A and B are shown apart, each in its own frame.
Chain A
Amino acid sequence: MLQIKNLHASVEDKDILKGINLTVNAGEVHAIMGPNGAGKSTLASIIAGNENYEVSEGEILLEGEDISELAPEERAHKGVFLSFQYPVEIPGVSVTNFMKTAINESRKANGIEEMPANEMLKLIREKSELLEIDRKFLSRSLNEGFSGGEKKRNEIFQMAMLQPKLAILDETDSGLDIDALRIVANGVNKLKSKDNAVVVITHYQRLLDYIVPDFVHVLMDGKIVKSGGKELAYELEEKGYDWIKAELEV
């Protein structure tokens, strides 16, 4: 699904990613963990096509196709979804209208006609139930005045609506109380299939109790320094990151 080869990236001449290699196959869940400032959010942003970062070296392949030169919306049309750590407020544009626009723009780009209104309504109903979102919520302006938890839940609702091939969840657990965390995780799990993949970026092991990863990677100083199974997450939770640093120095 996703192959990242020797990815180097910088912002304003500051190197942030220093040779990332990562392969995510369809049907898999990967977790990327690491200390603050390691480059986790940068990696997520770059996969999604944020033009503020300069990719100096390396490739990003989605289903074998190099997407590193594509605009963010073109990547989205190919099935890349990024759940934002800080979703943006768009006053005057309702959640529903935003989703209609997003879905139909993707369909247009893929040569599919607009989704009929009744089908759209059905999809909205189904996905809002999945994420236990009140229908009234959907006519509110996107993210405007939403609580931290509402914003995150709304991100996963959008993911459910757009049904991406590759979903990257950037710190989706921050700002969520335990009930909301369960609902969000349940949503992600229901959307998981053998044909799509999920990359979870998180500080804490907490979310990984609910979205169980097949692989855990540790990102430090712009590189993946250690990979393992889900038990690695517990080890990090318990011991922090210093032992990895020590290990690396040896």
Chain B
Amino acid sequence: MELKDKLISSFMAFEESIDVHNELHDVRTLAIKNFENKGFPTKKEEAWKYTSLSAILKNDYSVFPKHENAVEFKDVKKYFLHEIDTHKVIFVDGKFSSFLSATTHDGLDVCLMSSALNKPKYKMVIDEYFNKIASKDESLTTLNTAFANEGAYINIPKSKVVEKPIEIIYFSTGIESALMVQPRNLVIVGENAHVQIIERHQSLNENPVLTNSVTEIFAQKRAIVDYYKIQNDLQSANLIDNTYISQKQESRVSVHTFSFGGNITRNNLNFYHFGERIDSTLKGITIIGDKQHVDHYTLVNHATPNCESHQNYKTILADSSTGVFNGKIFVEKEAQKTDAFQQNNNILLGDKATINAKPQLEIFADDVKCSHGCTIGQLDENAMFYMQQRGIPKKEAKALLMYAFSNEVIESIKIPELKQRITKIIATKLGVSLGFDL
């Protein structure tokens, strides 16, 4: 059976397994109907022109988690930011792992989507926020909505500055021969509140995994949200990440996406503005090789005056890997004095590596500052010669240059331990050990 049919026919069973009388029944039903009409996106659609899902849809995925599989902490410790204390919401094969998690209700909620969706005390919040910014039209998002049941639920009350970063990690054990998971995260950050979140998807063996994840983030007035996505998964793992961000007046939200692994990775990152003097930051480093594929599809919707957005994506492609950057900036007529900046720099290391870069600016206001720059090149030969002249061999010189290339993005990581971790992953990725920690 094709994956689409399998999903549609599992839907009723899925709903019965949770609670068919749940208030969200109508939302799910609408969503599955939309998916049924649209199906998985194909390359015929403009938004999916450079990314084909057809090969990965052929696996016979088990589509909703059956077992509670245990994972020993020592086996997965390296995927945690274990040097510091963090809040943790951890899932194994789509099921919550209370053993690996450290949730809290003490002054803030860091817990489970399934309880938020089902417990009466969260009903008002769910009514107000759940599926309110996520697309009701885009097929993969609606597919996720239809099956939305588990994920992280984070609610930070007004003026709360969360001291510890929050880690959300989805492990897949590979016990199933092929697994599809559809995590659903909801993050609400109250007025003047501040939070840092790290999200990661990690396979523990080479069985294929397809993750179709949806995250909704609501930043209230003057809230500050720093969100980091670490994508350094095995080459059997595929990830479609759909993130929707709603920002109110004077809020500041940044999303950093570090794509170093996986087979096919697609990041749909959408920012929507509802208020003035909003600041949105979208940054990414992509370093891949072999036949890996990473597609960044970003949208910043400037709907209100006096807001800023900053995009900076750096890509290094080796071997036959392919990268896509499609950055759309939409400036509505009312959004005067918008300051939108977009930069995308790409380095191709291999003759067979490909980048498709497409900046898209649609501007309907007349008093705005919008700029974009896109470069595609090889490593700077002068810089290589300079470093070799000082005695640094070619391989190390290359690594230093690539590090220098990514540095602008690395510099803006606000959690020092994470910054260290990312630079270490980059050094490993580049296959060098230098006389100092990058």
Residues in A with CB closer than 8 Å to B81 are none
On whether the beta carbons of B396 and A105 are closer than 8 Å, the reply is: yes
* Residue of A45, A90, A106 touching B383 (CB-CB under 8 A): A90
The proximity string for A residues 75-119 relative to B, scoring 1 for CB distances below 8 Å and 0 otherwise, is: 111001110101110111100011011111110010000100000
Residue pair B388, A98 in contact (C-beta under 8 Å): no
Contact between chains at B389 and A162 (CB < 8 Å)? no
Using Cβ atoms and an 8 Å threshold, which residues of chain A touch B397? 73
Which of the segments A28-36, A48-56, A123-131 contacts the partner chain?
A48-56
Complex-state Cα separation, A72 to B394, whole angstroms: 9
A82 (CB) vs chain B CBs: closest residue = B389
Which 4 residue pairs spanning A and B have beta carbons closest together? A92-B407, A72-B388, A76-B391, A106-B391
Is B435 touching A100 in the complex (CB atoms < 8 A)? yes
Q: Are A73 and B410 in contact (CB under 8 A)?
A: no
Q: Which residues of B contact A45 (CB under 8 A)?
A: 385
Chain A interface size band reads 35 or more
Q: A88-B382, A114-B435 are in contact. Are A76 and B404 (CB under 8 A)?
A: no
Q: Which residues of A contact B (CB under 8 A)?
A: 45, 48-52, 71-73, 75-77, 80-82, 84, 86-88, 90-93, 97-98, 100-106, 109, 114, 141, 158, 162
For the complex, give the distance between the alpha carbons of A25 and B387 in Å: 27
Interchain CB contact under 8 A, B391 and A105: yes
List chain B positions with a Cβ less than 8 A from chain A.
380-383, 385-394, 396-397, 400-401, 403-404, 406-408, 410-411, 434-436
Instruction: State the Cβ distance, B137 to closest chain A Cβ, in Å.
Output: 41
CB distance B401 to A162 under 8 Å? no
A71-B394, A105-B396 known; A92-B436 Cβ under 8 A: no
CB distance from A139 to the nearest CB of B (A): 12
Residues on B with beta carbons closer than 8 Å to the beta carbon of A51? 385
Quick check: B381 and A48 within 8 Å, CB to CB?
no
Do A91 and B404 touch (CB < 8 A)?
yes
- A73:B394 contact, CB within 8 angstroms: yes
Instruction: Assess A88 versus B435: contact at CB under 8 Å? Given A76-B391, A93-B403, A101-B400.
Output: no
Q: How far is the CA of A50 from the CA of B385 in the complex (A)?
A: 6
Bound-state CA distance A155–B394 (Å) is 20
The answer to whether A90 and B390 have CB atoms under 8 Å apart is: no
Question: CA separation between A158 and B386, bound complex, in Å?
Answer: 12
Instruction: Give CA–CA (A77, B396) in the complex, Å.
Output: 15
The distance in angstroms between the C-alpha atoms of A51 and B397, with both chains bound, is: 15
Report how far A93 CA is from B381 CA in the complex, Å: 18
Find chain A residues with CB under 8 A from B381 CB.
Answer: 52
Q: Determine whether the beta carbon of A102 is less than 8 Å from that of B390.
A: yes
From A49, A101, A109, B389 is in contact (CB under 8 Å) with: A49
Query: A92: nearest residue on chain B (CB-CB)?
Result: B407
Given known A88-B383, A100-B435, contact A93–B393 (CB-CB < 8 A): no
User: A97-B435, A101-B434 are contacts. A87–B388 as well, Cβ < 8 Å?
Assistant: no
Asked whether B400 lies within 8 Å of A93 as measured between CB atoms, the reply is yes
Other-chain residue from A48, A71, A90 in contact with B401 (beta carbon distance below 8 A): A90
Instruction: Beyond A80-B389, A105-B435, list 15 extra A-B contacts (CB 8 Å).
Output: A45-B385, A71-B394, A72-B388, A72-B389, A76-B391, A77-B391, A86-B382, A88-B380, A92-B403, A93-B403, A104-B435, A105-B391, A105-B393, A114-B435, A162-B390
Task: Given the known inter-chain contacts A92-B403, A92-B404, A101-B436, please indicate yes or no for A162 contacting B391, CB distance below 8 A.
Answer: yes
B residues less than 8 Å from A106 (CB atoms): 391
Query: In chain A, what residue has the closest Cβ to B400?
Result: A93
Which residues from B are CB-within-8-Å of A91?
Answer: 404, 407-408
Asked if B386 and A88 make an inter-chain contact with CB atoms under 8 angstroms apart, the answer reads yes
Contacts of B434 in A (CB 8 A): 101
A102 surroundings in chain B (CB, below 8 A): 390-392
Highest count of chain A CB atoms <10 Å: which of B381, B386, B406, B411: B386
16 A-B pairs whose Cβ atoms sit less than 8 Å apart in the complex: A49-B389, A50-B385, A51-B385, A71-B394, A73-B392, A73-B397, A91-B408, A92-B411, A97-B435, A101-B434, A101-B435, A101-B436, A102-B390, A105-B435, A158-B390, A162-B390
**A84 contact set on B, CB distance < 8 A:** 386, 389
Q: Within the assembled complex, what's the spacing in Å between the Cα atoms of A52 and B380?
A: 12
Contact across chains for A73 and B407 when beta carbons are under 8 A apart: no
Report the bound CA distance from A238 to B56 in whole Å: 76
In the complex, A81→B386 CA distance in Å? 10
B404 in contact with A90 (CB, 8 Å)? yes
Residue of A nearest to B386 (CB): A88
Residues of chain B within 8 A (CB-CB) of A100 are 435-436
Q: Which residues of the other chain, B, contact A80 by a CB distance below 8 angstroms?
A: 389
Q: When the two chains form their complex, are residues A73 and B391 in contact, meaning their CB atoms are under 8 A apart?
A: yes
